[in-house]
Amino acid sequence: MQVVPKRWDGTFSAPRYGFGPGRSAHQAVKAAPEYIAAGYRGVGDLHVEKFFERVDPDQRMAKSAERVSAQRLWKLIRALLRAGVREGGRGSPGDEGTPQGGPLSPLLSNIVRDEFERELERRGQRFARYADDRNLYVRSRRAGGRGRKSLTRFIGTKLKLRVNEAKSAGGRPWERKFGGFSFTHDRKPKRRIAPQALPRFRERARELTRRRRGISRERRAKERAQYLQGWIGYFGKCQTPAVLHSLEEWTRRR
C-alpha cells in the first residue's frame, strides 16, 4: 500500500500540503502570507464534523475506483475498506467512515477532500491545507460569508458530510492561527509563532525542568533536549526572532 500514495499524489489539488510525500506544514504556512500580501486579508475555515467517521462508503469506493486501473489493487482497497475495525476484542463493520491509523486513511482522506478542493479551485478560491488544517482566504467579510454558505451546501449535498458551525470561524489572518503559526499585520506579512503555542511551550518546559519528577538528571536532560530540538526545528521557521530569543532566555533561567 505504500506505493499507491506515490502514484496518486500528483493528481491532487496543488494547495494541499499534507498526507503526501515531500509535503510539509511549513510549505502550507509559507503559502498563506502570499495570499495575504495579494489582498486576501480575510481568512476562515470550515470544520467538517467527524470526517473520518462519516465519510460515505459508496463515495469512498467510487472515488477510489476512478484512480485504480489494476483490478487486484482495487479488490485489496475494497477489502480494507469493508474490513471494519476491532477494539477491545469486539469488531465493528466498515459500513461507515474511514479506518483511522491504517495505511489507507491519509490516502482516502485526500481523495475525498480533493473533490472539495477542486470545487474551491473552480470557484477561484485561495486556500492552503496541511492534513486537517485548512484556511480559506477572501478579500472581504461579505465575500467570505457568501462563500461559506455556498460551500456548506456543497459539503452537505455533494460530499454527504456536515460542517461543524461551532468550530468553524473566520477573521483576520493576524487573529487566526494556521499550522501553529500566525502572521504579522504588514503589507508583506511575516510568519510568527501563534500566541496559543507559547503558553503550551512554557507549560511543557516547566514539566521537563521540574526536579521532583522521580527520574535521573541524565534522563531529565535527555527528554528536555529532545523536546527543545523538536520545538525549535518546527517553530524556528518563524520570521520574528525576538520571540525565540526571549524564550531561550526564559528556558535557560529554568
Contact (CB, 8 A) for 61 and 78: yes
**C-alpha–C-alpha distance, residues 36 and 202, integer Å:** 30
Q: Show the cell assigned to 21.
A: 510525500
Taking 90 as the threshold, does the pLDDT of residue 233 lie above it? Answer: yes
Compute the average pLDDT of residues 58-86: 57
What pLDDT is recorded for position 244? 92
What pLDDT is recorded for position 239? 94
**C-alpha–C-alpha distance, residues 17 and 25, integer Å:** 7
Compute the average pLDDT of residues 158-182: 86
Lowest mean pLDDT among 105-119, 197-211, 236-250: 105-119
Taking 50 as the threshold, does the pLDDT of residue 155 lie above it? Answer: yes
Compute the average pLDDT of residues 172-191: 91
Taking 80 as the threshold, does the pLDDT of residue 120 lie above it? Answer: yes
Q: When comparing pLDDT for 147 and 90, which is higher? A: 147
For the chain, the average pLDDT equals 78
* pLDDT tens digits for range 183-222: 999 989 999 999 999 999 999 999 998 877 778 888 888 9
**Which residue bears the cell 460569508?**
145
Res. 78 pLDDT band, cuts 50 70 90 = low
Taking 60 as the threshold, does the pLDDT of residue 248 lie above it? Answer: yes
What pLDDT is recorded for position 38? 93
What pLDDT is recorded for position 236? 94
What pLDDT is recorded for position 183? 94
Residue type, 36: I
Q: When comparing pLDDT for 184 and 84, which is higher? A: 184
Taking 50 as the threshold, does the pLDDT of residue 22 lie above it? Answer: yes
Beta bridge pairs of residue 107 = none
What pLDDT is recorded for position 66? 55
User: Taking the CB of residue 30, how many other CB atoms lie within 10 A of it?
Assistant: 16
What pLDDT is recorded for position 112? 72
Q: When comparing pLDDT for 3 and 109, which is higher? A: 109
> Which of 68-72, 152-156, 190-194 shows the highest mean pLDDT?
190-194
Res. 82 pLDDT band, cuts 50 70 90 = low
